[in-house]
Amino acid sequence: MFRKSLTIALLAVSLVVSPLSSFADEGMWLPDSLNKLPLGEMKKRGFELKPEDVYSTTKPSLKDAIVQISIGGTGSFVSPDGLILTNHHVAFAAVTRASTTEKDYINNGFLAASRAEEIPAQGYTISVTQDFKDVTADVTAAVKPEMTPEERTRAIAVKQQEIAKAAAAGREKEGIRTQVVEASGGYQYFLYTYLTLKDVRLAYAPPKSIGYFGGDPDNFEWPRHCGDFAFLRAYTAPDGSAAAFSKDNVPFKPKKFLPINATGIKEGDFAMVMGYPGATYRLRESYSVEYRQNIQLPDQIATLRQQIDVLTKLGDKDPALRIKYADQIFSLSNSLKAFEGAVAGLKRMNLVPRKRAEEAAMQKWLDANAALKAKYGDVLANLGTLYGELTAISAKQNALNALLSSGDLINALQFAYERATSRDLPANERAPQFSDQFLPQVTTQLSAGWEEREPESESRLLAAALARVDELPAGQKIQAVEKSFEGKSGKERRAAESEFARKAIEQTKFKSFDEVKKLFSASAAELRAIDDPALKLVIAAVDENAPLNKKQTQILGSVTKIRPLYVASLVDFRQATNRGLPYYPDANFTLRFTYGDIRGYKPRDAVIYEPQTTLSGVIAKDTGEEPFNVPEKLKELYKKKDFNGYVDQRLNDVPVDFLATTDITGGNSGSPMMNGRGEIIGLVFDGNYEGLGGDYAYDISLNRTIAVDIRYVLFVLEKFAGANYLSNEMTVKRPKAMAASK
């Protein structure tokens, strides 16, 4: 894969000053590893806590105030009565599920005038980390040298489940949940224990015109003027146990909640974040990054564009559908821009060649030491071969996967058929996800929202997927699909695909979920005998995809066997050659700590971004039309300068959003931005577009966290919403002049 040795040598030299080298503010650190950080330097910058104040299992610490929200975000307890501060976009699913055409909480916002009026956040749970420990040795003990890649993958998955199940035994009623998670491509495994609460309620959400001001045009952009915040509350049974919603439940009493500091911030101030970042790939080999940049991410981008287009057109036809799909379109649009930005970032950073250069230097280091060469072997060459094989099957597999994920009916039929075919295999070859053990959980997931299905959206998505299948090269066509549209091309084929998709979805025999559920106990032969167009298409697609999935499983099984060796060699190489910070695991939706300072950046030549925005900027963007429609009451407050004391004296305005160098990614949404004393100064809600490649490499010159200033949160809460009863239950350190007047 390397082109010229001279190019490699030059890149290897440049690596010493390359952005691949770690910077001080880089790192999503495990919260018990602060002793690895330069605490002396951090204290000079403003960090005032001890490591045990951040993470402790023997006394309340910051970890006890940080919550993981089930839909993939973070929040923090901000009162002794279970009040949770998070993002508007994290709470948005709860807002939309509670909204109707008569009660439009999306556009009007929601405020519970008292705790009795707080409404269930449907589908939400929150989890608080209790502890975690390294169980790598226990997990990898299940692996035997003679195992095939598939057997190795299965053995590890089974062992993870066994360890987690044993750790939670007898504690489920307490709300204890356990999970064994992989870190850094199988280099490590950790057992996490969580307290999970099931009764979560919505207390306040501003209207979309504040909570998502700027919409998609401003998403990932700076300057931002978005009040992306909302309040939830966690409840338990009266005896303190985790319980589902009940009117008799009482507010949860957290071990720790975070105080608010509204006295103000400025550029250069120390800032830190704790939250649950979703996934990073900084320890991945160049072949993995290249595959994501050129194949996986572009495929996801194409799929998302397709789905957004279908749902948007349906919403344009029907206001009720526009409300129904608002959360889904928002989520898809957010992912689309993130993926597009990631591809742009990877190319801008020239990351694949840079990683190749580092790997070339590492290989030279390995080759020079017989013991290291024997320990790590030809990991890089083997990974390159495997990714070449993966690339060869990707186009066809991606098209089939898009077809099989084109709606609730297709998804359910796919599960039924794959479960049936899995049961036909020998016991040791069956996929765990199709076992009876997981059937209740999967059934619940598949049935959720079944009665609210929109056949038209599913048929349109299916038609779009069929059109994508038609784009496959000649040698990769799907024969069962080609037979259905034989002799047709262009507009004629598109029309035939649309008609087929409409009939398959609308005329299926399986109208209710109860009818679908019966299929979960059927054999593969019984399913093949049913004359139903949707089911027949699914069976054909699954059968066509099966050998590709098997090949992919073999390839990825081999990759996961090799990758821990690659990570180990990379860690050893960097330590031996003094390159970068100590090792920290890639993000994996577990609790992490990161720090930095409030700072602007230079996105391109002759442009400098200041680190703070103001309410004047909100007003300046007002067009009267979504997504730049400023609420009339907010404009009136601005006109009267009725700011309730939340004016920043340096800015002479109400601050709205700010930037920091803290190292975050998706999943950190809703994380508290804290000062060095652990007081909330803002709320993480986004990253900047120029920093979207940050999942693969951190660059302090461009990577920025975007946070809403806590003063804007309080201003909107108190002056716009009149929800002083919520701010009164929080511990708020206010500006001196304001505190004196209260």
> What DSSP string runs through 328-391?
HHHHHHHHHHHHHHHHHHHHHHTHHHHHHHHHHHHHHHHHT-HHHHHHHTTHHHHHHHHHHHHH
β-pair partners for 230 = 86
Phi/psi at 407 (5° precision): 155, 165
Catalytic (active site) residue 228: yes
Q: Are residues 204 and 340 in the same domain?
A: no
Q: Output the pLDDT for position 326.
A: 83
pLDDT digits (tens, 9 = 90+) for 211-267: 999 998 899 999 999 999 999 999 999 999 999 999 999 999 999 999 999 999 999
Same domain, 272 and 327: no
For residue 29, tell me if it sits in a domain: no
Domain membership of residue 737 (yes or no) is yes
Total structural domains in the chain? 2
Is the pLDDT assigned to residue 312 strictly greater than 50? Answer: yes
Catalytic residue chosen out of the listed positions 76, 184, 333, 669: 669
Residue 10 has pLDDT above 60, yes or no: no
Question: Does the pLDDT of residue 13 top 70, yes or no?
Answer: no
Q: What is the pLDDT of residue 712?
A: 98
At 3 the pLDDT is 29
Query: Domain for residue 298, yes or no?
Result: yes
> Which position among 61, 89, 406, 727 bears the catalytic label?
89
Q: Is 572 marked active-site?
A: no
User: What is the rounded CA–CA span in Å between residue 701 and residue 483?
Assistant: 54
Same domain? 441 vs 499: yes
Same domain, residue pair 269 and 339: no
Residue where a domain terminates, one of 552, 573, 594: 573
pLDDT at res. 130: 98
Is 407 part of any domain?
A: yes
What are the pLDDT digits (tens) for 490-525? 999 999 999 999 999 999 999 999 999 999 999 999
* Mean pLDDT score, 613-629: 97
| pLDDT average, residue stretch 520-544 | 96
**Domain assignment of residue 139, yes or no:** no
Residues 4, 680: Cα–Cα separation, whole Å: 52
* Active site (annotated) includes residue 88: no
- Which one of 513, 539, 573 terminates a domain? 573
20: confidence class by pLDDT, cuts 50, 70, 90: very low
Ranges assigned E (strand) in 556-654? 592-597, 601-604, 607-609, 612-614
The tokens 């973070």 sit on which residue? 74
Claim to verify: residue 292 and residue 277 sit in the same structural domain: no
Q: What pLDDT sits at residue 675?
A: 98
Q: Is residue 469 part of a domain?
A: yes
Tell me what pLDDT residue 739 has.
Answer: 52
- The owner of tokens 């610490």 is 61
One domain, residues 277 and 291? no
Helix axes 326-349, 351-367, angle to 10 degrees: 60
In a domain, 5, yes or no: no
Beta strands in 483-588 (DSSP E): none
pLDDT score, position 737? 65
Rounded mean pLDDT, 307-327: 86
Average pLDDT for 583-600: 97
User: Which residue did the predictor score with more confidence, 398 or 317?
Assistant: 398
Q: Which of 529, 552, 573 is the last residue of a domain?
A: 573
Q: Other C-beta atoms within 10 Å of 736: how many?
A: 10
The predicted model scores a pTM of 0.84
Answer yes or no: do 314 and 378 share one domain: yes
- Catalytic position from the list 25, 81, 228, 709: 228
Based on the domain organization, do 560 and 673 belong to the same domain? no
**What pLDDT sits at residue 700?**
93
Same domain, yes or no: 353 and 267: no
Say if residue 516 is in the same domain as residue 610: no
**Residue percentage of the chain with pLDDT more than 90:** 82
For residues 556 and 590, state if they share a domain.
Answer: no
Domain interval for residue 341: 286-573
Domain harbouring 90, CATH code: 2.40.10.120
pLDDT band at 726 (very low <50, low <70, confident <90, very high): very high
Same domain, 250 and 359: no
Q: Is residue 375 part of a domain?
A: yes
Which structure tokens are listed for 179? Answer: 């999970």
Average pLDDT, stretch 346-351? 94
- Report which DSSP code applies to 677: T
